[in-house]
Homo-oligomer: A and B are copies of this chain.
């Protein structure tokens, strides 16, 4: 497996330039033996929810099909290399619905799984007086597919897989919904702020990168699954994004992690049998879970 971290993608970067970077990452990962390459959330563009936009200035960021003519070269080259990939993008459906979405594509080019981000951060209305916004709740609808596990490719040893996008990875309910479907490999991309670009909050990039690793490690362990968690990183249009893309084993240990804030590949072999110890003992859900005491998790939204 490969984590294919991307450095920043600026607003003025052309689609062609970004696609060339994705292709270069794909080639490098394949050259290192990876059969599945995990790209970030919203991998084709800058993280546009940081601005209040409308009309054409907004519409250019959405994909009207997956694949489509703009991204077809990535699908084509992956199939030639017999490599699959996960990639995040902004989806506009024929019915006009908008989602923060991801697909996992098999080595033969077929779409094996599709996911729409459930845990949208940010707000619908812009916050007055702030240079940078977080308007995911404005530009996307809440994902309507739930947390659908799916089978990975045979050449990956047919892992039971699940996808998350960015903020989803901080929500143990999302991981557990997949854990209850027996996932062995979780893949996810993110664009996470390295600092408050408006100068408010006090968490620095080191703490935020720690948080990003911690949630992947803790939830991978508690669900006895591999996890690949991948950043778009660096200074993007004046707003900093953390790196720290990582591959996590079912014991919650980081087995590979990026060191830069640029385009960077790290790879690791993921032995699916390493999930067995956790799934059959400590986290044998059938033997040890007590759902009669978990009602509050669905009966309440917020704190009561």
Contact = CB atoms under 8 A, between A and B. Distances in A.
A172 B288 CA distance: 13
Contacts of A301: 285-286, 289, 291
A303 B217 contact: no
Interface string A152-190: 000000000000000100111111110111100000000
A171 B224 CA distance: 12
Task: Indicate the member of A143, A176, A296, A302 with the most B CB atoms within 10 Å.
Answer: A296
A241 interface: no
A22 interface: no
Interface stretch (A64-72, A78-86, A88-96, A203-211): A203-211
Interface string A47-80: 0000000000000000000000000000000000
**Oligomeric state, in number of copies?**
2
A172 B174 CA distance: 11
A222 B215 contact: yes
Q: Among the interface residues A182, A221, A293, A299, which one has the most CB atoms of the partner chain B within 10 A?
A: A293
Contacts of A296: 147, 176-177, 180-181
A19 interface: no
B294 A177 contact: yes
Nearest to A202: B277
Interface in A276-304: 277, 279, 281-291, 293-304
A121 interface: yes
A132 interface: no
Interface string A223-255: 000000000000000000000000000011100
22 contacts: A118-B290, A119-B290, A121-B288, A146-B293, A170-B282, A172-B173, A173-B289, A174-B293, A176-B296, A180-B304, A203-B251, A210-B252, A211-B251, A214-B252, A215-B218, A215-B222, A218-B222, A284-B302, A285-B302, A286-B301, A291-B299, A291-B300
10 tightest CB-CB pairs across the interface, nearest first?
A218-B218, A286-B302, A172-B172, A182-B303, A285-B302, A291-B298, A173-B294, A146-B293, A177-B296, A180-B300
